[in-house]
Amino acid sequence: MATYAIGDLQGCHRHFLELLDLTGFNPTRDRLWLVGDIVNRGPDSLSLLRTLMELGDAATVVLGNHDLHLLAIAAGSASQRRGDTLQSVLEAPDSKDLLEWLKQQRLFYHEDGYALVHAGLLPDWDTEQAVDLALEVETIIRSGQFQTFSRSMYGNEPDCWHNALRGEDRWRVIINAMTRMRVCTPEGRMNFACKEGVSAIPNGLLPWFEIPRRASRNTTIVFGHWSALGLYLTPNLIALDTGCVWRGHLTSVRLEDRKVFQVPCA
């Protein structure tokens, strides 16, 4: 059995199938770990959702910011933005089933020394706390509360974590860290304006994974979201967003031996 972690798909269904062929993925034997942003911007989010739903337990998926955006639109709490390519999902005859499947996916996943998240973890969170915090939000997403919460899901404040946070502010910080964060201060204050590569990060900010004494540093974290960072491999990090939707590559890393597989996304 092999586990193939795959970067941001964003509706690039054809390239996803090409990558599975390249890896030799067998759904009866192997597993996929998908870092989120399954949908949007690319040409065929509908087919991609159907394929992943058919894979069942062979695919472990965490939600990204684009996936939450689709759920908010479907709940009537957000509008499509310029560049969105979600209409085919919303109008599909099986839209209700696909959206319900998406709601059931995790925000964070942890297994055997590896963790899967779309964007990152705040420096004070170890993986056990991250599982508990993600579960709080997952419960809201799957419940009738999501329609109300999704109206206030967007926003940059609060920009740091406090254990005393409650309700919508608490859930927003968890979502922002796990689906939007790239950089923060050493104290864990998030900055969402910086989207460039590491060399362009302003003074006073660091990539979230370079914060000294980060509580999750003993777990290998698999993540995406940061296309300007690209493929980034260290002993305890696997970054996989290589900009497929921006005509880069779609990338997979086999966790057992760190072998890299890539297909070009012209």
Give the CATH number for residue 169. Answer: 3.60.21.10
pLDDT at 157: 97
What was the pLDDT predicted at 44? Answer: 98
Indicate the number of domains in the chain: 1
**95-103 vs 45-55: helix crossing angle, rounded to 10:** 60
Quick one: pLDDT at residue 216?
98
Burial of 37 (C-beta count, 10 Å sphere; 0-12/13-18/19+): buried
The single-letter code of the amino acid at 242 is: T
From residue 59, alpha-carbon distances to 19, 126, 218 in Å are 14, 24, 25
In this prediction the pTM is 0.97
Give the span between the Cα atoms of 123 and 139, in whole angstroms. Answer: 24
Whole domain around residue 129: which residue ranges?
Answer: 3-264
pLDDT, residue 233, reads 98
Instruction: Please report the pLDDT score of residue 252 as a whole number.
Output: 98
pLDDT value of position 36? 98
Query: What sign for the dihedral angle of Cα 176, 120, 116, 135?
Result: negative
Tell me what pLDDT residue 266 has: 83
Extract the tokens encoding 193.
Answer: 């304006």
Residue 150 tokens read as 């999704």
Which are the contacts of 176, defined by CB distance < 8 A and separation ≥ 6?
Answer: 156, 159, 190, 192
Nearest to 175 by CA among 68, 37, 101: 68
What is the reported pLDDT for 260?
Answer: 98
Burial zone of 217 (CB within 10 Å; 0-12 exposed, 13-18 middle, 19+ buried): middle
Tell me phi and psi for residue 11, to 5 degrees. Answer: 80, 10
Q: What is the mean pLDDT of each run of 10 residues along the chain (266 residues)?
A: 98 98 98 98 98 98 98 97 97 98 98 97 98 98 95 96 97 98 98 94 97 97 98 98 97 98 95
User: What pLDDT score was predicted for residue 78?
Assistant: 96
What's the Cα-to-Cα distance from 213 to each of 32, 81, 203, 208, rounded to whole Å?
30, 38, 19, 11
